[in-house]
Amino acid sequence: SQTIHQWPATLVQPVGSPLSLECTVEGTSNPNLYWYRQAAGRGLQLLFYSVGIGQISSEVPQNLSASRPQDRQFILSSKKLLLSDSGFYLCAWSARGPGEQFFGPGTRLTVL
Amino acid sequence: GQQLNQSPQSMFIQEGEDVSMNCTSSSIFNTWLWYKQDPGEGPVLLIALYKAGELTSNGRLTAQFGITRKDSFLNISASIPSDVGIYFCAGLLNTNAGKSTFGDGTTLTVKP
């Protein structure tokens, strides 16, 4: 069966520091991968999605970037964090082609 | 872009009551999905609907794919305290790289 992992689970970082969040998927090949951000009590904002290694599409302009160095690895990064980057970051995968998305456990990021 | 209107935004109900929430869109979808998110966790897929008019149950949950393909509803019967959480609808188009459009969520509170 398929499993999706995210780490770290929680992170507290100072403003201006770099960021690297990692997501890995097991048990499937060639997945579509997604990064979402969720503000407290709010909906899901799609940040990036990827249909293959090295292929990244950005949904909204922002202080973040994403990379997919391996088929089942998706990384969310920032060179300098802003206060507004705080939130709950969710990684998700779906099978190639249209299909349901399955979410990871999330990373709670607090920027101070 | 496509948008989903999910209502109600929040619900406060007594244990044992039935719950109904819905999503509407100005454009059609090929698939409707319903997720539940527990506090501090990633959303979990509850029900997937693939065909207009389809009615699907998962335990005490029942969801329907509207005939017009522009709406869907989710019913929860005989609510219990563990039903507490945020419920999201999502619409999926076959030609959109697997990206789903999410509603803003319905926050459900169940009083024992």
Q: B25-71, pLDDT tens digit by residue?
A: 999 999 999 999 999 999 999 999 999 999 999 999 999 999 999 99
**Which of B31, B99, B104 is the closest to A43 by Cβ?**
B104
How far CA A36 is from CA of A85, A100, A104, B11, B50, in Å, comes to: 12, 15, 11, 25, 24
What average pLDDT is seen over chain B? 93
B88 vs A44, A51, A102: nearest CB = A44
Q: Does B99 sit within 8 Å of A49, measured CB to CB?
A: yes
Q: Would you say residue B97 has pLDDT above 70?
A: no
B43 contacts in A (CB within 8 Å)?
44, 90, 103
Whether the pLDDT of residue A4 is over 90: the answer is yes
Residues of A in contact with B102 (CB under 8 A): 43-44
| Closest alpha carbon to B99 in A92, A4, A60 | A92
> Nearest CA of chain A to the CA of B55: how many Å?
18
**In this predicted structure, what is the pLDDT of residue B78?**
97
The answer to whether B23 and B72 have CB atoms below 8 angstroms apart is yes
Q: Are strands B44-49 and B31-37 parallel, antiparallel or unpaired?
A: antiparallel
pLDDT band at B94 (very low <50, low <70, confident <90, very high): confident
Mean pLDDT over B5-30 rounds to 96
In this predicted model, what pLDDT tens digit does every residue of A69-79 receive, in sequence order? 999 999 999 99
- When pLDDT is averaged across residues B78-95 and rounded to a whole number, the result is 92
**CB within 8 Å of chain A, chain B residues 61-90:** 88, 90
* pLDDT score, position A78: 96
In chain A, which residues have their Cβ closer than 8 Å to the Cβ of B94? 97-98
Structural tokens at position B73: 């509803």
| Mutation for testing the A interface, residue in B37, B101, B106 having most A CBs under 10 Å | B37
Mean of the per-residue pLDDT values for chain A? 93
| Confidence at residue B3, expressed as pLDDT on a 0 to 100 scale | 82
Q: Which residues of A95-104 are buried (b: 16+ CB within 10 A; e: fewer)?
A: beebbbbbbb
